[in-house]
Structures are given as structure tokens and as C-alpha cells.
Amino acid sequence: MISRVYLVRHGETAWSKSGRHTGRTEISLSEQGEVNARYLAPWLASVRFSGVFVSPRVRAQQTCELAGLGGAAQPDTELAEWDYGDFEGLSSAEIQGRHPGWNLFTDGCPGGESPAQVSGRADRVIARVRSLDGNVALFSHGHFGRVLAARWAGFPVEAGERLQLDTASVGIFAYEHANPAAPVISLWNVRPSDGAGAPS
């Protein structure tokens, strides 16, 4: 049975820093993003992983490499960020200017993915990792990571709106008392670059 799932969001990019929605666009980590990704390495080095899976996007793969797990990583297309479709590259303010009241987690994106599609993708990832043994690392993205957390805990995709997930941060999914019927989020949005120590 899976012990823990370590969800890692990629490091900072120019677009994440400016708040532009980055789905399919390939953007490398910023200099600061590389620095913060390196802080993940000693934090994750204390964990023995039976599986490491990474989004196909360059920013996630760079983060995985700098975190010291690139050699063990397997690409997983289902860990890619939400497909923003027509909203790719736009800030939330720009989208609100065109579509007042828009909410990603309830409305999705025209030309991209709906909440139901992203929720289904998250459920498939969760079903796969729950079939594994030991600890697993997932290198993914902000919005998709928030959906993963919501779905792991059994909440609808809309609950992801309330889960902030910073760049180069780690969350841990587990089971309370090792009970598969009791999935929990045991750690959330911890940034090793801020000096946070690894959990025991």
C-alpha cells in the first residue's frame, strides 16, 4: 500500500511570478525558481521513493532534476497543468475583464479543460498511485496540484480553490492510521526554501 504521496509544485517562472496562466506553454524556471528548486533536494533526500513521476512540462522536469530525483523520474502526461485553452498566457485580471465573475474551478476554460475533465484526470493519477507500494513523488503544477489535493481528500474539484499552492512547495498525502478508507492531507504548501525542515 502507498505510504505517502509527496506533491511538488515546480519552481518559479517569469509567468508564474507575473500571474499569467501557464498551461501548455513551455517556460523554463527563472533564476530564483532554480534556486528554490535546489532547496528541495536535501529536503527530499531523506525519503526513499518507490516511484517518481513528473509532468511533461519543462518547468516541472527542471524542478525534478534540481531536486535530485531526475534520474528516477518517469514522465506522466496526466500530471500536466490545467489546459487553459483560450485563457493561456492571460492574468486573472485580464480574464475577469473579458468574463466578469469567471472562476476556474467552477467554469473551466473555453478551448481548454472543464472542471470535470481535470477532476477525472486527477482521479486517474490518484488511482494509479494508490496501487503502488512505498512513497511516491509527483512533480506537477499549481492548479492541477490543488485539484489533486481536493480529490485525494474526497472533496469536489471546487474545493481546490481554497488550497493555495506556492512554487517550489511540497504537500504530503497519506492515510490516517494507515487506513485506506481515511485519506488525509498531512502537510500542505511547505516551502523548503523558507527554511522548513523535512517531516519525520
pLDDT digit string (tens) for 53-102?
999 999 999 999 999 999 999 999 999 999 999 999 999 999 999 999 99
- Domains identified in the chain, total number: 1
Please report whether residue 200 resides in a domain. Answer: no
SS3 for 22?
A: coil
Q: In this predicted structure, what is the pLDDT of residue 200?
A: 63
Please report whether residue 127 resides in a domain. Answer: yes
CA atoms within 13 A on the CB side of 48: 3
User: Would residue 10 show up in a list of annotated catalytic residues for this protein?
Assistant: yes
CATH number at residue 32: 3.40.50.1240
User: Would residue 31 show up in a list of annotated catalytic residues for this protein?
Assistant: no
94-138 pLDDT, tens digit each = 999 999 999 999 999 999 999 999 999 999 999 999 999 999 999
Please report whether residue 148 resides in a domain. Answer: yes
Q: In this predicted structure, what is the pLDDT of residue 196?
A: 76
Please report whether residue 199 resides in a domain. Answer: no
Catalytic residue among 65, 81, 113, 141: 81
14-37 pLDDT, tens digit each = 999 999 999 999 999 999 999 999
What nine digits make up the cell of 104? Answer: 476556474
Catalytic residue among 10, 21, 141, 143: 10
Domain containing 100: what range?
A: 2-194
Residues 173 and 150 sit within 8 Å (Cβ to Cβ): no
142-190 pLDDT, tens digit each = 999 999 999 999 999 999 999 999 999 999 999 999 899 999 999 999 9
Match 481536493 to its residue by C-alpha cell: 150
Please report whether residue 100 resides in a domain. Answer: yes
Is the pLDDT reported for residue 1 higher than 90? Answer: no
Q: Is 200 exposed, middle or buried (0-12, 13-18, 19+ CB in 10 A)?
A: exposed
CB within 8 A of 120, min separation 6: which ones?
none
Q: In this predicted structure, what is the pLDDT of residue 178?
A: 87
Please report whether residue 6 resides in a domain. Answer: yes
